[in-house]
Chain A
Amino acid sequence: MPQEVRRSAWAETLLSFVQRYPGVHLREIRRRLGIPLGTLDYHLYRFGKEGLVTLTETAGYTCAYPAVVPDIGGPIPDPDRHLLALLRQPVPRSILLHLYLDGAGPPSDLASDIGTTAQNLSYFLQRLERAGVVLREGSGATRRVRLADPKQVHALLLQFPPLPDDPVDRFLRFWGDLHP
């Protein structure tokens, strides 16, 4: 296949992926699309110059967003960008979905419910708290974690679909669910 044709195919795939899944970070794009690093950099640079895609450093990751979302009629607002980027990462997404579906709860229950360690949960809760997405209330035995703005999470979940599970994700979830 000529290189130009291959490049334009990548460009189309990449642009539609970013438009469908705004807030996805670059490593995830590479993993999902199998796109070579140089090709990814080239197209993102080009999309940036053409005003199609913007890159933002969010929660320690470089995340890609479409410059304009048709439903919004402009760019995604900054607070939503931050939350979207967190919803694209497995552990923060599990925490946010659990708090959204089940409401506030003690951190110890949260760790076992989402299948992670207390240390891992604590690390991500600190990040989510710094981002202003979750709030920790009380102390000791009455300590609870809750979403700062459940309506914002609800709106973003409805507007932007989650990244589809790949076979490895499904495999991991299946064996994770067998935990006695």
Chain B
Amino acid sequence: MDLGELTNAAFGGIAVFGALLAAVAIAAWRRTPTVRMALVALAFLLFAAQGVVVGVGLFTSGLSLSDLLALSAGFEAALLAVMFAATLLR
């Protein structure tokens, strides 16, 4: 497996596991509708979106590597902010 295929698999994994955890988080939020659980669900949705957007962008669009890196960093910064709020804010 070359580096391109590995990268593809890694972003596929992020999208799939992010979506699975987002589904569990949404089910948890429906059972206990708190702001914390909504934030956790949002964070996992961001993971899934990052996997899809960056993964697809890497292989099909005309975006440069630096654009994709910025996009990926944007997703990560957003989901870290959401995770921070979900775990530390009362």
Contacts and interface: CB of A to CB of B under 8 A. Distances in A.
Interface of A: 167-168, 171-172, 175, 178-180
Given A175-B86, A178-B87, A180-B90, A167 B24 contact: yes
A168 B90 contact: no
B41 to A, nearest CB: 10
Contacts of A178: 87
15 contacts: A168-B24, A168-B27, A168-B31, A171-B24, A171-B28, A172-B28, A172-B31, A172-B32, A175-B28, A175-B36, A175-B37, A175-B86, A175-B87, A178-B87, A180-B88
Interface of B is mostly: helix
B15 interface: no
Nearest to A166: B27
Interface of B: 24-25, 27-28, 31-32, 36-37, 40, 86-88, 90
B69 to A, nearest CB: 30
Interface of A is mostly: helix
A178 B40 CA distance: 12
A149 B21 CA distance: 41
Nearest to A175: B40
Given A172-B28, A172-B31, A175-B40, 15 more contacts: A167-B24, A168-B27, A168-B28, A171-B25, A171-B28, A175-B28, A175-B36, A175-B37, A175-B86, A175-B87, A178-B87, A179-B36, A179-B90, A180-B88, A180-B90
Nearest to B30: A168
